[in-house]
Amino acid sequence: MGCVKSKQPVGARARDLYTSALFRGRRAYVERTCDRWFVLSAAHGLLDPDQMIEPYDVALKDALPSARSEWAAEVLRSIDETVGDLGEHVFEVHAGSAYRDHGLVEGLRGRGAGVEIPTEGLNQGRQLAFYARANAVEPSSAEAADGPGAFLLSRAVPDPTTDERQAPGYAVDGLHALGPFEYRWPSGTVECFSRGWECTVRRGTRQLRVRHGIGARPCYGRDRVHTVTWVDGNPIVEGAETEDYPRTRALVSVLKRTDRKDARNLDEVPAGYRRFEIVRHRNEIVGPNARRGLAVKIREDDIEAWTVYALLRMTDRTTVSEGSTTSPRAAGPDSAADGGGCGDGEVDDGDDGGVGSYRRWPRAGQSGPATASRAAVVRALLDHGRTLAGLGSGNFTPDADADRFVQVDAFAFVVAVVCDEQVRFEKAWEAPLELRRRLGHWDLARIVSEPDRVREAFARRPALHRWVNKTAERVSAAARRVLHDYGGDAALIWSDTPTAATLRRRFEAFDGIGQKKSAMAVEILERGLGVPVSALDGSDVAVDIHVRRVFLRAGLAERDDVAHMIEIARALHPERPGELDNPAWDIGRQWCHATSPDCHRCPLESACPKLVDRAAGVRGA
């Protein structure tokens, strides 16, 4: 949270020092929705809310751009020290552009973190309105007496035709997971679901087949995780990703009265729904067409809760005959036509008499639309790769001297590869030149014989790497190997036109260089620096967090497994698997963010099935 001008006249904890309505709104919001929060102080950098500070009169908007960049770099260092591995976290930034736009957001994303800016583009008045609405508590008389609470469903599903306090009448059998599948709506629109579950619900001799699918689609102003729950093949309810989804994995579905109009207060909620967590839709969804009424909030994978919810909704719409063996056609999820759903009118509203159908995606190597879709994604990736190549070899860092050093000095290139782990790419490739400056030489024998000086150079603030000791030891070990195996000339690693597979093995012999770094090094040398490399069918993708997200969301990979993704790249582009690496990495950094991916601007937009949910669990480097 950004600091503000209005402050108490005496020292106080950071959480209490700032007194403006905007700060109070931000604080109430983050205390309710976030696991941990900090103050971004123009004078002090990153502040713990309980840290005592004195009033100050410093505004970041008045500082020069260079000073703002230095401030952002210091904040990032503090976050690294305080939080640890940022790839496991999603950060919300509640602050103005002076705090965000000089390296802070870029630095967080470069470390693998997800970043969300809930009030981006809103002026101060609209920000105040946003926080007022999000923090609002508007209980009706019924809510005051019987407030909403989360419902933890048992294995026996209550009969939705009876009061929830009575004995269960339905039971769930055979719950099992599903792989990716498609659903063709009666309108002809095909929606892709990255995963799902299916079960049988029994009541006496009657059986119902329930399926719950998780996918992604544009709704409420951006791409969101989207679910549909079917009963006997009929789509009954849908859910849309909430603003706090990265933390809660929850979706909301609009609550309807028995006449199918939005329920505005708990007095209007049909019997049976009080078992769920009931929320105000606009408090959970920020975007166009967000509803004024109530909604149920359910975790995406709480299959039993979605099952009960779908059965309740179906019972509200139609009476199911006790003796029938199949259910009558039920109306589908509420669409934009009647004010519910995802607000874009694509989903079936049950009025056209059509019947939808699902189809499982073929696996890798099988024919069918999924294979064709993968081929289209590969073509789009290669096209983007050619676009990147047309821009020239590119810059490793914003520093021209650092760029030049890793291009002309072979050992500097090796050091950059060693350093390229758990830090921004640019920071890793700036490290060799700064290390030479701090050491005052680039003598490999001294680097080997003076490990303490190398470690001190890495540790001097600002530290050259997150892992000071480990990386310093690896650099000394790299110098030792170059002296021993290559006569002190690191260029001999690649000067004999090796095959891609051979070159990868040579890099992997260095301490701290594994498959990911070696595959990256081969591609950079051949593609970016013009080093002759033969048999490029032996190249590989360097599977980092960005490539993993893109491969999963674009439907190239079926699971978050490095070996699987390497094999997929080899199968889809056997002539040069590594050629898929740079465009996938660039797309992951630029558009396919951990949260709120910018699908509409992405070069893969027309080919990608946008399986955003598939990458929900991607963490680490």
The span from the CA of 426 to the CA of 431, in Å, is: 9
595 close to 112: Cβ distance less than 8 angstroms:
no
Structure tokens at 335: 């669409």
* Number of neighbours of residue 250 by Cβ within 10 angstroms: 21
Residue 52 pLDDT: 87
The span from the CA of 111 to the CA of 80, in Å, is: 9
Phi, psi of 319 (to 5 degrees): -90, 125
Q: Reduced to 3 states, what is the DSSP secondary structure of residue 548?
A: helix
The span from the CA of 329 to the CA of 247, in Å, is: 36
Task: Give me the DSSP letters along 339-355.
Answer: T-TTSSS-S--S-S---
The span from the CA of 610 to the CA of 554, in Å, is: 6
Phi, psi of 444 (to 5 degrees): -60, -35
Measured at the CA of 494, the angle between CA 490 and CA 500, to 5 degrees, comes to 140
374 close to 555: Cβ distance less than 8 angstroms:
yes
The span from the CA of 427 to the CA of 466, in Å, is: 10
Q: Reduced to 3 states, what is the DSSP secondary structure of residue 299?
A: strand
The span from the CA of 383 to the CA of 606, in Å, is: 13
The span from the CA of 125 to the CA of 22, in Å, is: 9
Residue 360 pLDDT: 52
Give the side-chain half-sphere CA count within 13 A for 513.
26
DSSP state of 164: T
How far is C-alpha 181 from the geometric centre of its chain's CA atoms? 22
The span from the CA of 597 to the CA of 553, in Å, is: 10
DSSP state of 580: G
The span from the CA of 157 to the CA of 159, in Å, is: 7
Place of tokens 């490290």: 431
DSSP E strand boundaries for 98-148:
114-116
DSSP state of 2: B
User: What DSSP element (H or E) covers 219?
Assistant: strand 206-219
The span from the CA of 326 to the CA of 209, in Å, is: 9
The span from the CA of 230 to the CA of 448, in Å, is: 65
387 Cβ neighbours under 8 A, 6+ residues apart:
603
Residue 316 pLDDT: 65
- Nearest to residue 316, comparing CAs of 252, 276, 260, 237? 260
Residue 605 pLDDT: 84
The span from the CA of 84 to the CA of 78, in Å, is: 10
The span from the CA of 256 to the CA of 291, in Å, is: 11
The span from the CA of 42 to the CA of 508, in Å, is: 44
| Grouped pLDDT means (10 residues each) for the chain, 621 residues | 85 86 86 85 90 86 84 90 80 88 87 83 75 56 32 37 45 78 80 85 80 87 87 90 84 87 82 81 85 88 86 65 35 36 38 48 40 78 87 71 92 96 88 95 96 95 90 96 95 94 94 92 90 93 92 90 90 92 92 85 87 79 52
599 Cβ neighbours under 8 A, 6+ residues apart:
218, 223, 591, 605, 608, 610, 612
36 Cβ neighbours under 8 A, 6+ residues apart:
none
For 185, 529, 558, the CA distances from 563, given in Å and listed in that order, are 35, 27, 12
349 close to 331: Cβ distance less than 8 angstroms:
yes
* Number of neighbours of residue 465 by Cβ within 10 angstroms: 23
The span from the CA of 202 to the CA of 289, in Å, is: 37
Peptide bond into 462 cis (omega under 30): yes
Burial class (CB in 10 A: 0-12, 13-18, 19+), 136: exposed
The span from the CA of 154 to the CA of 144, in Å, is: 27
The span from the CA of 127 to the CA of 118, in Å, is: 9
Q: Name the β-bridge partners of 213.
A: 196, 228
Measured at the CA of 279, the angle between CA 330 and CA 136, to 5 degrees, comes to 145
CATH 1.10.10.10 for domain 367-393+525-621: no
User: What DSSP element (H or E) covers 413?
Assistant: helix 410-419
- Nearest to residue 363, comparing CAs of 74, 556, 519, 502? 556
